[in-house]
Copies of this chain bind each other. A is one copy, B any other.
Amino acid sequence: MGRSVYENIRDKSFSYISRNFDNYVSLLKDLVSYKSVASWGLKGVGECANYLSDVLSSRGFKVSIKYGGGSPAILGEIGSGSKTVLIYNHYDVQPPEPLELWNSDPFELLIKDDLLIGRGVADNKGNIVARIAAVDALLEYLELLDLRIKFLIEGEEEVGSPTLANIIKDNLHWMSSDGGIWETGYVGADGRLEIPLGFKGILYLEIMLKKSNRDVHSGLAPLIPNPAWEIAKMLTYLKDEKGKVLIPEFYDDVDPKFISVAGELIRHIDPEDLKAVRKELGLDKFVNGLDGIDALRELYMKPSLNVSGLYSGYTGKGSKTIVPSVAGVKIDIRPLPGQKPEKILEIFTKYLRELGYSNIEIIVHGMYPAGYTEPDEEIVRASINAAEEVYGKYPKVLPIASGSSPIYLLTSVAGVPITGAGVGYFNSKVHAPNENIRREDFIRGIRHVVLTLINFSSKISKQ
């Protein structure tokens, strides 16, 4: 089929979206009203899951609700084409606190000028609606496009997706798809859509050192071993002053294919974006004076190790005089594709033991590997071309996001190549008060999914 068919489906779909846009704002309003905060327990998420399940069923989706031990996940399927696209989202949201910094009720969608404001509009309810809208717009063409669309909408992403692996492994055959779309994507200040082709993994450790039975009056400080000093000393063994991690083998095992892909992709990333971040944070320079392509290489081509938290003794206002009994540090490590977090945990533990830290407790708060998709995958090409058309600019394709997400469950466990799409923008205030999206990005986000799906069809070609 030729260009005219592509244009015909595109124009009809876009026209459908314009005509029905108010319905999708209304659907987003409904979704935002559910207090589906996973960390608040199962009531809010359960009600939201039931509502969403009805929303999909009423459109003709075949829906089932799956339990992996935590929040339910919704599996919905529509179309019977030979090429399958798996669309991943989550209906749970971050807690709204601090409430006093919101200018409106976080669970009531506020439309103000060109902004839609409320908890979850960017992360991730706005994207759920955008994808439902895209499928609605294409519904009468699904057969022609020879597509089958699957929705996997989980309910505990914001607490680290602890049972998503169970759901995916229990339904591995259902997950099997030719391509997939990950939860989010953001429009940068330069107007380009950012598409990360993967996410780093995570190994979140808390290392605790207990030296005595209780805190003791610091009059005895000359005699009582203080764990704060030992934790401090330990940190100096983990990284050198240039930011290099000193744990032997820490940088090993990164997939060479990923390095080659990443090295190529970051040539096309404008390092000026990082300069803007640096300025906003009030920094004279980055770690080790990194800049330009070197900063990008550090960010996207190396695993990282960071102190997220450090504590010992009295940390409140003013003074209290004690020798603390306990000191602890929270460390997040982000492995790259190829690296196994279990192995990093092992070499880390071994290194600490060799340094003489025998009496420490290591708590693993979270652990999963990285996952990524190669840029020449069909679904990636489809989304890049769609983005170029919708946003009028070639997207910013990242080899991997700087953050972590258990995308490996789709890319590695279920074997689905994944791309990005999303309704958010650089100032969406994700996880923060006054989370918002721009009306225009909401529309463009729907259109981008529509074109990605058309582009992905084997039956239609743009040229």
A-side interface mostly? mixed
Taking a contact as CB atoms under 8 Å apart, the answer to whether B310 and A315 are in contact is yes
**A288-314 residues at the B interface, CB under 8 angstroms:** 290, 295, 298-299, 302, 304-314
Given A229-B307, A235-B232, A309-B313, answer yes or no on A222-B287 (Cβ-Cβ < 8 Å). yes
**Chain A interface residue count: which class?**
35 or more
CB atoms of B310 and A223 under 8 A apart: no
Q: A204-B319, A299-B222, A319-B330 are in contact. Are A309 and B324 (CB under 8 A)?
A: yes
The CB with the most chain B CB atoms within 10 A, among A216, A220, A274, A307, is that of A307
Residues of B within 8 A of A298 (CB): 222-223
- Chain B residues in 8 Å Cβ range of A310: 228, 231-232, 310-313, 315, 324, 327
A253 to chain B, nearest CB (A): 18
Are B304 and A221 touching (Cβ within 8 A)? yes
Q: How far is the CA of A213 from the CA of B202 in the complex (A)?
A: 25
> Would you give the 0/1 interface string for A208-223, flagging 1 where the beta carbon is closer than 8 Å to chain B?
0001111011111111
A323 contacts the other chain (CB 8 A): yes
What copy number does this chain have within its complex? 2
> Is A307 in contact with B226, judged by CB distance below 8 angstroms?
yes
A219 to B234: give the CA distance in the assembly, Å. 23
25 A-B interface contacts by CB (under 8 A): A206-B319, A211-B283, A212-B283, A220-B277, A221-B306, A223-B286, A223-B287, A223-B295, A225-B283, A225-B286, A226-B307, A228-B307, A229-B307, A231-B232, A231-B310, A232-B236, A306-B323, A307-B312, A309-B316, A310-B310, A310-B313, A310-B327, A311-B311, A315-B330, A320-B330
A residues engaging B (CB < 8 A)? 160, 200, 202, 204, 206, 211-214, 216-226, 228-229, 231-236, 239, 241, 243, 274, 277-278, 280-283, 286-287, 290, 295, 298-299, 302, 304-316, 318-324, 327, 329-330, 332, 334, 365-366, 401-404
